[in-house]
């Protein structure tokens, strides 16, 4: 039997030598190994040449497929990193707004990386679409109850979607004023999510009390005037147009004038 040099691991060679391998089997194994090592024997029958070529083509095809998969995996990793580094934002103004009052909401989506697609949505409703670094959309909103309306911007960057969300908050009004009952609180503060802020309260008559009437979900913890405590009585529960409120009444009465009161 002829001596064949097999470019293969010692374990595989030993397995072949230990078996009852025929010359043709060893030749076939040698051809397979040569094919793996990128060599095709020059002396082979037409049948073997065809077989060897097909075998090599198959190996090359498998290697190309594996490389394509590896390249695709690498590109996916790069895309994920690029997408993760992108800074996206969605703004919505004005907010907060009053329940039952229509407001035109301006929505601005921005990204520090160019997006192939930008979409602004409210739920399943698409409000605007485009591409690039920014997009502006609008929505006429009339909230029926207090709470959040959520808007979303979806940016397609490096082939992946990256969202940004923003809530527009709807609130019930805060009332304030002076008189003898909470119904005398005729002034309405701007839309606020808490009662904190400065209030200029006109006192029209000597001996009037000051009232702050806030939605039941809000609480006044402290009030001051000119740096001193402005004492308030414990709140009472009242109802205004079907909405529950807390009415805070000042502990003292005041003379005619304007009181600048800070609530925190």
Cα–Cα dist 213/201, whole Å: 13
User: Do the domain assignments include residue 76?
Assistant: yes
Q: Which two three-digit tokens encode residue 132?
A: 């690039």
Q: What is the DSSP string of 83-147?
A: HHH--EEEEEES-SEETT--EEEEEEEEEEEEEEEEEEEETTEEEEEEEEEEEEEEEEE--SSSE
Q: Is residue 184 part of a domain?
A: yes
The SS3 call for residue 224 is strand
Q: Domain check: are 78 and 35 in the same one?
A: yes
Convert the pLDDT of each residue in 143-167 to its tens digit. Answer: 999 999 999 999 999 888 999 999 9
Structurally, the chain folds into a number of domains equal to: 3
Give the pLDDT score at 3.
45
Q: Are residues 165 and 187 in the same domain?
A: no
Do β-strands 228-229 and 236-240 pair in parallel, antiparallel, or remain unpaired?
A: unpaired
Provide the domain limits for residue 128. Answer: 88-171
Together in a domain, 179 and 165: no
- List the single range of 36-40, 62-66, 143-147, 202-206 with lowest mean pLDDT: 36-40
The pLDDT tens digits of the residues spanning 218-259 come to 999 999 999 999 999 999 999 999 999 999 999 999 999 999
Question: Do 182 and 112 share a domain, yes or no?
Answer: no
Residue 128 lies in a domain: yes
Residue 41 lies in a domain: yes
Do 181 and 244 share a domain, yes or no?
A: yes
**16 within domain boundaries:** yes
Q: What CATH number did the domain enclosing 109 receive?
A: 2.60.40.10
Judge if 19 and 71 occupy the same domain.
yes
Residue 1 is assigned to a structural domain of this protein: no
Tell me: do 182 and 256 sit in the same domain: yes
| 167 and 211 part of one domain | no
Q: Which of 126, 141, 171 is the last residue of a domain?
A: 171
Q: Does 92 share its domain with 79?
A: no
Determine the pLDDT at residue 2.
44
Last residue of a domain, one of 36, 67, 83: 83
Average pLDDT in the chain? 85
Q: Are 133 and 111 in contact (CB under 8 A)?
A: yes
Distance of CA 87 to the CA centre of its chain: 11
pLDDT band of residue 215 (cuts 50, 70, 90) is: very high
In a shared domain, residues 77 and 117: no
* Per-residue model confidence as pLDDT tens digits over 2-61: 444 444 445 554 554 455 455 555 555 555 655 555 555 545 445 555 565 665 566 667
Residue 5 in any domain: the answer is: no
On whether the pTM is more than 0.75, the answer is no
Domain match, 217 and 197 both: yes
Q: Are residues 252 and 197 in the same domain?
A: yes
């Amino acid at each position: 039997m002829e001596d064949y040099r097999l470019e293969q691991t010692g374990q595989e060679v030993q397995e072949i030598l230990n078996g009852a391998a025929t010359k043709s089997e060893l030749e076939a194994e040698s051809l397979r190994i040569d094919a793996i090592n990128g060599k095709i024997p020059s002396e082979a029958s037409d049948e073997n040449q065809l077989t060897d070529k097909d075998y090599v083509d198959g190996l090359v095809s498998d290697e190309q497929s594996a490389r394509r998969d590896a390249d695709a995996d690498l590109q996916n990793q790069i895309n994920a990193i690029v997408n993760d580094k992108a800074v996206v934002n969605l703004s919505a103004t004005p907010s907060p707004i009053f329940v039952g009052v229509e407001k035109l909401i301006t929505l601005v989506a921005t990204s520090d990386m160019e997006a192939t697609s930008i979409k602004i949505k409210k739920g399943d409703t698409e409000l605007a679409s485009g591409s690039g670094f920014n997009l502006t959309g609008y929505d006429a909103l009339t909230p029926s109850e207090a709470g959040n309306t959520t808007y979303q911007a979806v940016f397609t960057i490096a082939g992946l979607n990256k969202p940004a969300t923003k809530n527009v908050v709807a609130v019930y009004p805060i009332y304030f004023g002076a008189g003898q009952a909470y119904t005398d609180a005729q002034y309405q503060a701007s839309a606020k999510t808490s009662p904190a802020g400065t209030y200029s309260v006109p006192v029209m008559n000597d001996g009037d009390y000051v009232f702050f009437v806030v939605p039941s979900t809000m609480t006044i913890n402290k009030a001051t005037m000119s740096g001193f405590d402005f004492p308030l009585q414990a709140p009472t529960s009242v109802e205004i147009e079907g909405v529950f409120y807390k009415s805070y009444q000042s502990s003292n009465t005041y003379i005619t004038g304007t009181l600048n009161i800070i609530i925190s």
